[in-house]
Amino acid sequence: MSPGTRGLAIGFADVVAAAGRLDGRVRRTPVIALDRLGLLAKCESFQAVGAFKIRGATNAVLGLDPRGVVTSSSGNHGLALAAAAAAAGIPAVVVMPDNATAHKREAVARLGAEVLTSPPETEARNRVAAAAAEERGLTLVPAYDHPLVIAGQGTCGLEIAEQVGDAATVVVPLGGGGLLAGVATALRERCASALRIVGVEPEDGDDTVRSRQAGRRVTIPAPQTICDGARNTSPGELTFPIVEALVDDVISVTDAEVVAAMAALAAAGLVAEPTGALAVAGALRHGVRAASGGPTVCVVSGRNIAPAEHARLLLGAIRG
């Protein structure tokens, strides 16, 4: 890995190297117009595993060449790492919190990974994963706090720069910060300096909003948000400095606003899980599109939600 700019964990060269590794192994996802909303959607939900996480997981497996891997994940990173491990012919262990959805847990198991259960707090599940790595001789691949993972996610930003060269604003879902940090690293190099980059997290999982206010990483209680991919209790050690240096703003939205965004995406023909709809929810709540003066691109980061749960949430929004 090359040293990141300004002492950051990665630099633009790392994202370019990741793009070379991932060529032909992950999908170049489309950008489509959400005409009724006045937004553009970067459809990472169209990846083969249903989420952007396949970028970072595959880049890590290819870059590390491990004998086996382990991670802690609420679902999508575990799913992606299981798929990347299967493609490489190596074993995978995924530590999932006890509040992970059955839909994602079953999907990870179907790909051949062993699933272990842990308490929901970020530190607790990371301890279980670290113990499994030591006991079994596996390589730990964090969900977001690893240079190869961040760089892999950054390839999404490279594609946005190529697909929407005149973008004025890019809005990105935010959990641990791997996607936001990687996308920001790519976009700051490839796009005009006036480009605005915004991260969006749930109000009941606003660890990065609070950390930016405090000027340091802070820890919050285990979030209860429906956005299961953003239930982090603290920002990443590597991702937070990148977000601080390269991202213009981080905002939060309510679960009700997330469901409304899911409904708007469904009306446009896109299935999004709650975390995957965060960027659209943020753009709609905070009027990002109106203030930008140019195209606003929202990353729709994943679609992995049980059909019955998707229907339940949308029907509740309609009745409400």
CA separation for the pair 199, 314 (Å, rounded): 24
Rounded to an integer, what distance in angstroms lies between the CA atom of residue 233 and that of residue 245? 21
DSSP 223: P
- DSSP states of 79-118 as a string? HHHHHHHHHHT--EEEEEETTS-HHHHHHHHHTT-EEEEE
Catalytic position from the list 72, 73, 74, 292: 74
Given 145, 189, 201, 257, which residue is catalytic?
A: 201
In the numeric block, which tokens belong to residue 216?
């340091």
Question: Is 201 in the active site?
Answer: yes
Return d(Cα 310, Cα 320) in angstroms, integer.
15
- The bridge status of strand 69-72 relative to strand 169-173 is unpaired
Catalytic residue among 44, 206, 207, 257: 207
The answer to whether residue 98 is catalytic is: no
- Which is the catalytic residue, given 72, 234, 252, 301? 301
Active site residue 207: yes
Inter-CA distances, 248 with 50, 119, 181, 224, Å: 28, 33, 12, 27
Task: Retrieve residue 294's tokens.
Answer: 């140019």
Whether 230 and 302 have beta carbons less than 8 Å apart is answered as: no
Q: Which candidate in 176, 199, 205, 276 is catalytic?
A: 205
The Cα–Cα gap between 98 and 79 comes to: 16
Is 205 a residue of the active site? yes
Active site annotation includes 309: no
Note if 204 is an active site residue. Answer: no
Determine which one of 4, 50, 53, 72 is catalytic. 53
- The catalytic residues are 53, 74, 201, 205, 207, 301
